[in-house]
Amino acid sequence: MSIGNFGQDAGVFYQWLPDLPIARVMFLAGIAAAAVGLLGLRPAAGGPRLRRSAAVISTTGAAATVAAIILATTAHTGPYGTVIPALHDAANDKPIRYTPVCGHAGIPVCLQPAYRPYLPDVANALRPVISQVTGLPGAPVRASQAAAVFAHGPGVLAPADVGQIPALNGSPPVLSMPLGAIALPNSFGADQTSFVNQIKVQFVHAIVTSGSGYGNPGQMAVEAALLEHAGIPLAAQPDDIPWPLPFGTPGQAARYPQPIAAAAQRFAALPAAARHAWLATHLAALRAGRITLAQLP
């Protein structure tokens, strides 16, 4: 609990949670008070009155330190940071109000104002995917940024991380995008191309698989075909997927297995109208995981 007590979007979508910092201050102040009190307990420090005061200070400091440790043991991870029940103020859970900034990518695309510099990149990422799914049942009518939920400590993003990847919600569907969970350009070694490609990958994943799990081979093949037409070549796609694929050899570059790659190439080779017509008929079954590689045209 020494690091990571705030979520990615703390101070942007929701308040900073002071619970853990309060416990830390109590702990450090208690140690300091106990140390100062111990100095006053020495016989050479002064008379009995001073030593009694020093004993009180030292005892109080030790008690504060122990209390901070006990409080820290009750901490748990909430969606917006580390929560200590005895110190938590429910008012800190209220979202921060804001007026979104919006662009267009075939559908309206709206972000939190703090992310305004990334609006062109997000729109450019969504545009070639939106153009392929417009008019399909369940296709989003709008894309809106959502807060990334708190993730304690380092980890690898997986498509089962609810709240950390784009998802389709509501009726009519809205694409919810927790951009704070994606490495922004010029941060953690990410660049603009990586940022744009991750948005493409995660949006297609939300469309094809309902946003959960890695997807079965049929879903992977359709994802790969849509991404190829969105500007990410088939051979480069595994490197742009932000979660470890359930295949490949450790230490070697991930590649789609040959049956998935062949089905993806076959589906991608169809005329755009034919792909769209097939998806219009079979998207619900595809999202439910009922389409096999052999059933792809």
Question: pTM for the whole thing?
Answer: 0.76
What is the spatial distance between Cα 38 and Cα 47, in angstroms, rounded to a whole number? 14
Task: Determine the average pLDDT of the residues in 185-203.
Answer: 80
- Compute CA distances 284 → 17, 119, 215, 216, 278, whole Å: 41, 30, 14, 14, 11
Burial 254-275 (b: 16+ CB within 10 A, else e): ebbeeebbebbeebbeeeeeeb
What is the number of other CB atoms lying within 10 angstroms of the CB of residue 281?
12
What is the spatial distance between Cα 239 and Cα 233, in angstroms, rounded to a whole number? 11
Q: What backbone phi and psi angles, to 5 degrees, belong to 109?
A: -125, 120
Dihedral sign for Cα 171, 291, 166, 6, please: positive
List the one residue out of 222, 230, 233 whose CA is nearest residue 275.
222
H helical segments located in the chain:
19-40, 48-73, 119-133, 192-209, 217-229, 237-240, 258-268, 272-287
What does the block give as tokens for 20? Answer: 């853990």
140 vs 9, which has greater pLDDT?
140
Task: Determine the average pLDDT of the residues in 135-142.
Answer: 91
Task: Determine the average pLDDT of the residues in 190-207.
Answer: 87
pLDDT confidence of residue 89: 86
pLDDT confidence of residue 247: 60
Task: Determine the average pLDDT of the residues in 40-61.
Answer: 78
Name the pLDDT band for 18 (thresholds 50, 70, 90).
confident
Contacts within 8 Å (CB) and 24+ apart, 156-161:
156/243, 156/244, 157/181, 157/242, 157/243, 158/243, 158/244, 159/205, 159/209, 159/211, 159/212, 159/213, 159/214, 159/215, 159/243, 160/212, 160/213
pLDDT confidence of residue 79: 73
Q: Residues 228, 232, 235, CA angle at the centre, nearest 5°?
A: 85
For the purposes of burial, counting CB atoms within 10 Å of the CB of 83, is it exposed (0-12), middle (13-18) or buried (19 or more)? buried
Contacts of 264 (CB under 8 A, 6+ apart): 220, 221, 222, 224, 225, 228, 234, 256
Name the pLDDT band for 134 (thresholds 50, 70, 90).
very high
Task: Determine the average pLDDT of the residues in 56-83.
Answer: 88
Name the pLDDT band for 110 (thresholds 50, 70, 90).
very high
- Lowest mean pLDDT: which of 45-49, 134-138, 269-273? 45-49
Task: Determine the average pLDDT of the residues in 203-214.
Answer: 80
180 vs 183, which has greater pLDDT?
180
pLDDT confidence of residue 23: 92
pLDDT confidence of residue 138: 86
- Compute CA distances 82 → 66, 89, 197, 295, whole Å: 19, 12, 31, 47
Query: Quick check: 249 pLDDT over 70?
Result: no
Query: Quick check: 263 pLDDT over 80?
Result: yes
According to DSSP, the β-strands at 81-83 and 76-78 are antiparallel
Q: Judge whether 185 and 191 are in contact, CB under 8 Å.
A: yes
Beta bridge partners of residue 145, listed in sequence order: 177
172: cis peptide before it, omega within 30°? yes
Query: Quick check: 146 pLDDT over 70?
Result: yes
Task: Determine the average pLDDT of the residues in 200-228.
Answer: 87
What does the block give as tokens for 267? Answer: 């589906």
